[in-house]
Amino acid sequence: MAQLQTRWAVLGPGWISRDFVVGLRASEYGMLHAVGSSSAPRAAAFSAEHGAEASGTYDEILARDDVDAVYIGTVHTAHADLAIRSLEAGKAVLCEKPASPTLAEVERILEAAERTQRPFLEAFKTRFGPFAESLRELAAGGELGAPRRFEGAFGFDAGTREGRLFDPAVGGGAILDVGCYPLALAIDLAAAAGQPIAPEYRAFEAELVSGVDGTASAELAFGDLTAGIATSVIENLSHTGVLRFADAEVVLPNVWGSRTESPSTLIVRRGTDERIVELPVVQPMAVEADALSLALAEGRLEVPEMPWAHTRAAARVLTDWRAAALAG
């Protein structure tokens, strides 16, 4: 196996990239090595703040042979081109969610990963760690039987109606920003339950604000597992998930966790019985970075927690749900 130690470059030194750098410090194999930006001075400032060795424009960073992997932390519409350029420069790619606003762009990225034989991982931090593993085990059947329905809500009031969340030109709106999380979880649960991961669409709803989907919902059927998803960037929603079985339910409080800690608690209810399951907490960005290092060292293109088939399945729904929302 090739060496696991991974020299990372952050591309897009914005808000979430700060959390990623904190995550890297907690990772086993990763270290921040370089920072790239469309603005070299912005890269230099971030690099100085976080102690990277090098900084520069995207092209300068991608041309370096001492960078093994890149983390793409830019706005959604910039993901595909940067991911493809990075793969073509021979780098492994961890790209913030959603991989791209459209399925067509996601296909371009995956084609580049296949062609260059470099790993690509869509950064769904909620897929990693003991909480996510326990959910998969429950969905796979066993003590509670087969799951029948998943409900998940991720929404917050962003306060301002400005910035990337409300800018159609950079892929703003709730569906791409946070609706993708319950969708990615529904796909994960469907796969674990042995159901199809490409759902039938039962209903899409949305309320537009500033030309983007401020609030949206989707009703989906993954074979025998139905899913109801709600999302918003203009109102606070529960941040809770519920997985329902024939005679039991599993409540997932704060299922989307924080940016630096995975969720810790599952509540299993059956009749009047209630069991609280406490799970170890991990730094999810550290774990996802290490998962990519492992793929790179082992010569794999994909990471099992978020395989390309799931990235494609999510992109298909996001594309169609958002198109329906924006069509009014």
Ligand X SMILES: NC(=O)C1=CN([C@@H]2O[C@H](COP(=O)(O)OP(=O)(O)OC[C@H]3O[C@@H](n4cnc5c(N)ncnc54)[C@H](OP(=O)(O)O)[C@@H]3O)[C@@H](O)[C@H]2O)C=CC1
Ligand Y SMILES: O=C1CO[C@H](CO)[C@@H](O)[C@@H]1O
In the complex with ligand X, the residue whose CB is nearer, 82 or 138, is 82
Give how far Cα 6 sits from Cα of 83, 141, 218, Å: 18, 37, 39
Question: One symbol per residue from 45 to 84: x for binding ligand X (CB under 6 A), - otherwise; what is it?
Answer: ----------------------------xxxx-x------
Question: One symbol per residue from 149 to 178: x for binding ligand Y (CB under 6 A), - otherwise; what is it?
Answer: -------x--------------------xx
Cβ partners under 8 Å of residue 155, min gap 6: 174, 178, 215, 230, 231, 232, 233, 234, 235, 236, 237, 239
The minimum distance between CB 287 and ligand Y, in angstroms, equals 16
What sign results for the dihedral spanned by CA atoms 211, 315, 21, 114? negative
Which conformational region is residue 299 in: left (phi greater than 0), alpha (psi within -120 to 50 degrees), or beta? left
Residues in the chain: 328
Buried b (16+ CB within 10 A) or exposed e, 19-49: bbbbbbebbebbbbbbbbbeebebbbebbee
By CB under 6 A, residue 201 contacts ligand X: no
Q: How far apart are the first and last CA of the chain?
A: 52
Q: Which does 12 bind (CB under 5 to 8 A by kind): ligand Y, ligand X, none?
A: ligand X
Residue 252: how many CB atoms within 10 A of its CB?
22
Instruction: For residues 215 and 242, give the distance between their C-alpha atoms in angstroms, rounded to a whole number.
Output: 20
DSSP 3-state of 263: coil
Task: Restricting to residues 150-179, name those near ligand X by CB under 6 A.
Answer: 164, 170, 177
In the complex with ligand Y, the residue whose CB is nearer, 122 or 177, is 177
User: Among 6, 7, 10, 13, which residue sits at the site for ligand X (rule: CB under 6 A)?
Assistant: 13
Residue nearest ligand X by beta-carbon distance: 14
In the complex with ligand Y, the residue whose CB is nearer, 48 or 169, is 169
Instruction: For residues 30 and 180, give the distance between their C-alpha atoms in angstroms, rounded to a whole number.
Output: 26
What is residue 76's DSSP assignment? G
Task: Restricting to residues 178-217, name those near ligand Y by CB under 6 A.
Answer: 178
The minimum distance between CB 82 and ligand Y, in angstroms, equals 17
Number of residues that bind ligand X (CB under 6 A): 22
- Write down the H helix ranges in 32-98: 40-50, 58-62, 79-88
User: Among 259, 269, 270, 316, which residue sits at the site for ligand X (rule: CB under 6 A)?
Assistant: 259
Q: Tokens representing 303? A: 């990471």
User: Among 118, 125, 310, 312, which residue sits at the site for ligand X (rule: CB under 6 A)?
Assistant: 125
By CB under 6 A, residue 306 contacts ligand Y: no
Question: One symbol per residue from 226 to 245: x for binding ligand Y (CB under 6 A), - otherwise; what is it?
Answer: --------------------
By CB under 6 A, residue 38 contacts ligand X: yes
User: Among 22, 40, 42, 207, which residue sits at the site for ligand X (rule: CB under 6 A)?
Assistant: 42
Q: Which does 46 bind (CB under 5 to 8 A by kind): ligand X, ligand Y, none?
A: none
The minimum distance between CB 245 and ligand X, in angstroms, equals 29
Instruction: For residues 151 and 165, give the distance between their C-alpha atoms in angstroms, rounded to a whole number.
Output: 24
Instruction: For residues 97 and 92, give the distance between their C-alpha atoms in angstroms, rounded to a whole number.
Output: 16
The minimum distance between CB 142 and ligand Y, in angstroms, equals 31
Residues binding ligand X (CB under 6 A): 12-16, 37-39, 42, 73-76, 78, 96-97, 123, 125, 164, 170, 177, 259
Residues binding ligand Y (CB under 6 A): 156, 177-178
